[in-house]
Amino acid sequence: MPPSSSSWLLVRLPTLRSYLHNGMLAHARARPFTSTALQASKQLPPRRAIHDSDIEENFLKGSGPGGQKINKTSSAVQLKHLATGIVIKCQETRSRTQNRKIARRILAERIEELELGDQSRTAVKARLKSKKKASADKKKKRKYRALEAAKDGGEEDEVDEEDNTEAEIPTQETSPEDMKKGG
């Protein structure tokens, strides 16, 4: 099920202010400011929920007749965020319901990246990951230096996750700067 239209939009306070300033949001709820919540949000900002009225949803199944006449696995979902023009396509699974959920999650991440830049969940996550990787790399290097003489280049390639979800971020139509200026 898609998030119901009554779901709240979760945003961090600075963004919330800019949204309200732009008159884009009537309802919003910030996290309660307990110290634990603050600490947690320093690690990872809360996930952002999306209103159904903020997006246009499309099920890509090609043109032509549907119903009994075709039996293609047509589980692809395309979401367009109206305010930013971001488009997400997803056919990760055979379940359309599941793809709708995945597409919404990724859209929320992309919007947040636009709004928060290096404060967004994905950016914070990536930093945590690259920190871990850096320290792992350091260890590895030390190890390799020790083994240097014996072997040459045993480093494995990191396998990319197979990516069936695409995001298109428009460059000219609406940039985050425009969003902040306008309204």
Partner 1 sequence: MPRLAIALLRHAYTIDPLLPLLLRPCRTLAAAQNELRWLREHVDKLVQARRPVNRKLQQQPKALLRRLAVERASGKPLQYILGTEFFGELELRCQPGVLIPRPETAASVTHLSHLIQNAPALPSELRVLDLCTGTGCIPLLFDHDFSSARSDRRLQLLGVDISDKAIGLAHRNLARVRRWKASAGRGDVDFILADVLSNPFGDQTLDPPCLKAALNFNKKPYFWDIVIANPPYISPSAYWSTTTRSVRGFEPKLALVPPPRPGNNDTEQADYFYPRLLTAARDAEAKIVLLEVADLDQAMRVATMARRIAIFDGIEIWRDQPDQRNESAVGISAEFPVRGQGNARSVLCWRGLGATWLGRGRATKTSRTTRA
User: Which residues contribute to the site for partner 1 (CB under 8 A)?
Assistant: 1, 57, 59, 61, 65-75, 91, 94-98, 162, 164
User: Which residue, 40 or 60, has its beta carbon nearer to partner 1?
Assistant: 60
Smallest gap from Cβ 93 to partner 1, in A, equals 8
Q: How far is the CB of 118 from partner 1 (least distance, A)?
A: 32
Category of 148 on φ-ψ map: left (φ > 0), alpha (ψ -120 to 50) or beta: alpha
CB of 83 to partner 1, least distance (A): 15
DSSP 28-84: -BPPP--HHHHHHHHHSPPPPP--GGGEEEEE---SS--GGG-------EEEEETTT
Judged by beta carbon, residue 32 or residue 67, the one nearer partner 1 is 67
How many other CB atoms are found less than 10 A from the CB of residue 121? 19
Nearer to partner 1, 70 or 128 (CB): 70
Q: Nearest CA to 31 among 53, 15, 50?
A: 15
Give whichever of 66 and 183 is closer to partner 1, judged by the CB atom. 66
